[in-house]
Amino acid sequence: MSPNLRGAVLMMATMACFTFNDTLVKMTEGAVPLFQLIFLRGVLTTLLIVGARGRLGRMHFDIAPRDWVLIALRSCAEVTATFLFLSALFNMPLGNATAILQALPLTVTLASAVVLGEAVGWRRMTAIAIGFVGVLLIVKPGAAGFTIWSLYAVGAVCCVTVRDLVTRELSPDVPSISVTLISAMTVMTGAGIVSTFQPWAPVSGAHGLLIAAAAIFILGGYYFSIRVMRVGEVSFVAPFRYTGLVCALILGWFVFEEWPDNWTLLGAAIVVGTGAFTLYREGKASRG
């Protein structure tokens, strides 16, 4: 596969992993306080990363000072984005928060053009814009739901954009698995500190299994999200972030029996259609 096609596959894998993680967390039904859950998941994720380091690439920390600065900046952006988005999610309608977050393909693509000087053609921008219309049909945000908390969600978008661009600037010899471990430990530490200000709850065996499964998927999400920003062109790969919403629809259908309406199905069809067309054009170009 061409670098762009590999990037598309990695982005779809990233979004699938994050969506499965979200589903498993939701299945705990709030029985475990959120930051306690994130901390426990982080502990398991860290142990899994250390255990799988040989299988996911050689892990080392002999990293140049410039890259350490970038990794620190990336970790700060990761933690801040998590805090801002969760704060927004708890204080505004899910549809509005999700709609704002789906601006990421637009912001990451535009930022890559401005900051990194990557060429972005009109066809790719059109595909991103059409995909965003599909996303709006799915989440159907209401104007009444946009409040001060909307700025928190916008801040989360800015932080994720910074995180992805910083990842793009890492030197090729920096192992993705090393950055994955640092990301997991940073989020774990942040959640652990916040969780000390909340009462902890006992964890049942069933909820423990859900958290353990979530740890596996969040590991994949962290790892793939780092790798995806190191291959292909950002403007090509970014729109495949929309596939996470389609994956969420499917899981919501099978796991929670949340039946989508006709507008939602139309939006999902638009998102899938634009992604399929983009893949078709890239495959045709690579065969050239």
Mean pLDDT by 10 residues, the chain (288 residues): 88 92 87 92 94 79 94 92 82 70 82 79 78 78 73 89 92 92 93 92 95 95 92 85 84 81 82 76 64
DSSP secondary structure string, 148-167? Answer: HHHHHHHHHHHHHHHHHHHH
Check residue 140 and give its pLDDT: 76
Check residue 94 and give its pLDDT: 61
Alpha carbon distance 190, 79 (integer Å): 7
| Every domain of the chain and the residues it spans | 3-287
Check residue 153 and give its pLDDT: 86
What are the phi and psi torsion angles at 259 (to 5°)? -80, 125
- Spatial contact of 270 and 131, defined as CB atoms under 8 Å apart: yes
Check residue 11 and give its pLDDT: 93
Rounded to the nearest 5 percent, the helix, strand and coil shares of the chain are: 75, 0, 25
Fill in the DSSP letter of residue 32. Answer: S
Of 34, 48, 45, residue with least CA distance to 194: 34
Check residue 116 and give its pLDDT: 75
Check residue 287 and give its pLDDT: 61
What are the phi and psi torsion angles at 56 (to 5°)? -105, 20
